[in-house]
Structure 1
Amino acid sequence: MVSFEPFPVLMTPRLRLRAIEPADAAAILRIHSDPEVTRYFGRAPDVSLADAEQRIALVLAGIREVTSIRWGITLHESGELIGTTGFWHWHKPHHWAEIGYELLPALWNRGIMTEALRAMLPFGFDVMGLHRVEAHVDPENRASIRVLERLGFARDGLLRENWYYDGRYTDTAIYGLLRRDADGVAG
């Protein structure tokens, strides 16, 4: 039986992936209110501290109920919360989950998200017992696709015009990583 208590803190050379707390609301709002961050989310940016508090409440409920897990990404040097990553849409009977992640734009193109996911993915395979990890990505989000491909994810398909937001339909590219293909993920 999987448990997220105590919360699993993950360390990398530059990062500490830790529990997200109610005190992180301002930092979460800073990330999720940025239109560059939410550009490919298919939803409007957050606009209030209440939005961030609600987002944190959902994260904490998923952890408590052992239905999802999300880490706050912090820099060792400053302790600043710069993004989040985690597993959600966990289909326990089928041994797969979807990942999601976001990072402050000032830190893009520095390998931070690749480093964070490289720490997180083995947790999914080894602790959660996943056989497959999926990422659903807007095909125009080339930076996110590069991160996934760098980690060994393969494009499994395209859902054409399956998402409607802001007066238009968009596609979703499905990327997958199988346990047996994840040998190079750790370390």
Structure 2
Amino acid sequence: MARTIAKDHDQKRQSILSVAASVFAREGIARASMNQVAKAAGISKANIYHYYDGKEALLFDILDTYLSELNNRVTALNLDDMPPADRLHLVLREYLLAYEGMDFEHKIQSEGVSLLPQNMQKVLKAYQKDMVAQMSAILNAISDGKLGDNQQLLREVTMSVFGMLNWYYMWQPKATRADREGYARTIARLTVAGLPGVQNAG
């Protein structure tokens, strides 16, 4: 007979993911153990293995859940009929709001993706690719298509914008919603004002 799924299965799974993310972020993924996750979660190691067959599967589920939800949140924004600069501001704001409370997941993503098998990496990198493509398209639109003529420059500018987002996550962990919204405006204004100089640089 197939094992029935408990009614609180998803709730327990989400709790394990949250605790595991904190353990991985604190200890480092390579050093963290399933025993440490179980202890932090207040459950037995056997219970962890009821949900995941190992640390690799657990790490993948943390990152898959985090990146898929982030990707869906920002790429589902209705940007139609909106000036490019306003699109940029709205997307930046959504990223900063989405990052709130997700410090551990965000921290382990840079280390964790490369530790997974290629088939798992492919899934996670597809989410990242979607988000980079959205940002690149917005920045290219702000430049009236000029950045698109230099793909290397477009990528450099795109990743620099993500770098500013990551800076805020690293250095302002206690930022309020108002703080995050304010910084979204700062990044948007800085980017829009700076693009002409970047485009026209020799």
TM-score normalized by the length of structure 2: 0.27
Larger relative strand fraction: 1
Larger relative helix fraction: 2
Q: Which has the higher contact order (CA 8 A, sep 6+)?
A: 2
TM-score normalized by the length of structure 1: 0.29
